[in-house]
Structure 1
């Protein structure tokens, strides 16, 4: 698992603001969960981080900053 932050540089919708607007986790199978930091603090589940970026990336105005390094393959199956 890897934690991440969704960082919005420009708020085109006028709802989420800018800066760190959400946080989440990318699971080892590539799926992801996202929790918004702004009210109402809803959550979303995605088949992949690419799907999440497609929906919430606002054409490059929002980026994903991964916090954790991936688990090395030799430890991932333990």
Structure 2
């Protein structure tokens, strides 16, 4: 990968009762494959991960939260 790849976290079910549902965070996978996630909401924060797998393991909630890629939306014409 040579350029950063943008995504949002879309939460269908709020298992923890903290983040809510819908678009709960914005993120980027950097060229070195590390990940930054910026949480939305009343108490925003930023977290960093060594890999997308690590971020998904913690924040994916076994499928309750989806990673939606910005470049995929552009390809589909749904910006």
Bin for the TM-score computed over the shorter chain: 0.7 to 0.9
The Cα RMSD (Å) is: 1.0
Corresponding residue of 1:30? 33
> Highest CA radius of gyration, 1 or 2?
1
Count of residue correspondences: 69
Richer in helix (by share): 2
Q: Deviations over 1:24-77 (max 9, x none)?
A: 1111111100000112100000001110000001111001001136xxxxxxxx
Moved over 4 A (4+): none
Normalised by the length of structure 2, the TM-score is: 0.83
Q: Secondary structure in 2 aligned to 1:29?
A: coil
Specify every segment of 5 or more residues in structure 2 that has no aligned partner in the other structure, as ranges: 73-79
